Amino acid sequence: MDRSTTVTDTPLKNRSLAALLAATWPGLGHLYQGRYRKGLLYLICIFGLYAVGFALGDGANVYWSWTNPLRDPEHFRLYYLGQFWVGLPAWPAVLQATLVHFGHQPLFNGFMAAPLLDPSMDENVRRVMEGVVRRAFSLHQKYGGLKEIGDIYTTIAGLLNVLAIYDAFEGPAHRDETTADEPDHESSGTKAEGATA
Amino acid sequence: MFVPILGVINAYWFALPLILAISLVYAASRHEAWGRILRHAARLFVMITGVLALATAILLLINTQV
């Protein structure tokens, strides 16, 4: 293999910052690193998958609740453990869950709030949450199994972004492949300090 | 919204964009060269779709034999 034509100068720049950006929004870390086409691919594939899944669930399939899975496994939202990794598009669910957990009214009419009612809820909080529960339970009647497909899409999107975050931090798995027949990336002239680690 | 339109599509067709996204993202995480990404993604797409189709065929066969 001709070492002069190998991919060893993947511009990772500040790898931790790139990983953080990738975790915040799919593809953002790669755009920061100058790996534009890859960033765009991650953005379209991961955020696109998440957006379609979110729409299939009518915006009511991404939520979190501060529930102990050992005490209350029925209300524990396992899907969100995957959805969380999409980044900012999924993070409002944590804010809403925290507000409800501490007895505050969720923001934006309960957008991304868990469809759960608690007898100890304040009257105002209960009123909003009843709307959230109604909306969540009407999904099956309106769209049938599409909500489940939305659950799967949004969860897989989050899990795929874990790969993208790792790629932003560590670079591609096969770093020493020949690229004589094709240009590898747009800004191959720049070298990262972390890339040769 | 477009959701009512999607409601008339058979649920199995929703697997294809999912497999495509998985193939592309996985391949992109393995390679940096665009050509290799696309080739790897195409291979992976065919493999996953083939395995799923085979599994479905076997399950259908078993189902009709019972």
Kindly state whether residue B28 falls inside one of the protein's structural domains: yes
At A41-65, the pLDDT tens digits run: 999 999 999 999 998 888 888 999 9
Of B14, B24, B34, the CB nearest to A45: B24
Q: What are phi and psi of A130, to 5 degrees?
A: -65, -40
Question: Which residues, including other chains, have CB under 8 Å from residue A191's CB and lie 6 or more apart?
Answer: A9, A11
* pLDDT tens for each residue of B14-64: 999 999 999 999 999 999 889 999 999 999 999 999 999 999 999 999 987
Contact list in A for residue B40 (CB cut-off 8 A) is none
* B34 in any annotated domain: yes
Judged by DSSP in three states, A38 sits in helix
Q: Which residue of chain B is at minimal alpha-carbon distance from A37?
A: B34
Domain map (residue ranges) of chain A: 15-170
Nearest C-alpha neighbor of A96 from the set A70, A116, A76, A79: A116
As given in the structure block, the two tokens for residue A159 are 């899990």
Quote the domain boundaries for residue B31: 18-65
In a domain? residue B3: no
Residue A51 contacts residue A154 (beta carbons within 8 Å): no
pLDDT 10s digits, A77-111 = 999 999 999 999 999 999 999 998 888 888 888 88
Q: For chain B, how many structural domains are there in total?
A: 1
Beta-carbon contacts of A110 under 8 Å, excluding residues fewer than 6 positions away, are A96, A128, A129, A131, A132
Separation CA A149–CA A163 (nearest Å): 21
Top residue of B2, B3, B45 to mutate, by most chain A CBs within 10 Å, is B3
Test mutation, A5, A31, A37, A41, chain B, max B CBs within 10 A: A41
In this prediction the ipTM stands at 0.86
Give the count of beta carbons closer than 10 Å to the beta carbon of residue B20. Answer: 18
